[in-house]
Amino acid sequence: MIWMDERVVVAAGAAVVSLVAWYAFMASAPRYSHAPHQDLGNAALLPVLVVAATIGGIFIPRHATLIGVMLVAPALLLAPWTAPRGDNDGLWLLIVPILALFMGVTVFAARAGAWCRMQAIQRWR
């Protein structure tokens, strides 16, 4: 059955982590703000996703690339509708290409975690 496939489970787990992080750090921020210090969501989203990608790569190295992609894909799809708009100057639109580029960073982090695990296994044999 397709729903029991390991890749589907891994992708769904990474997507859930992504959705929770996106909601906690970006979607829950006020949509529009008038004060200059409230223009963005919480920048902690990016390091949290990098750490999650690295941990995912360490624990599930066979699917490191899938983990890296799925940690950003849901946020990338939801960003146009849920990203904070700040003072509505249009700069919030940059969140979409930034997330697209950041997907490469999470894939790299997941693959680096998988590589570190493989190196550790080889050294301890």
pLDDT in tens, 8-67: 999 999 999 999 998 888 766 666 666 666 656 677 888 999 999 999 999 999 999 999
d(CA 56, CA 16): 13
Whether residue 95 contacts residue 79, with contact meaning beta carbons closer than 8 Å, is answered with yes
Higher-pLDDT residue of 13, 82: 13
- Would you state the pLDDT for residue 37? 62
CA 54 from centroid of its chain's CA atoms: 11
- Would you state the pLDDT for residue 42? 73
- Would you state the pLDDT for residue 94? 81
Higher-pLDDT residue of 83, 6: 6
- Spell out the long-range contacts of 34-40 with Cβ–Cβ below 8 A and sequence spacing 24 or more: 34/87, 36/87, 38/86, 39/84, 39/86, 39/87, 39/91, 40/84, 40/86
- Would you state the pLDDT for residue 19? 92
d(CA 35, CA 13): 36
Q: Around Cβ 82, how many Cβ atoms within 10 Å?
A: 17
Domain ranges of the chain: 38-125
Whether residue 25 contacts residue 79, with contact meaning beta carbons closer than 8 Å, is answered with no
Whether residue 74 contacts residue 18, with contact meaning beta carbons closer than 8 Å, is answered with yes
72 pLDDT band, cuts 50/70/90, is very high
pTM of the full structure = 0.86
- Would you state the pLDDT for residue 29? 66
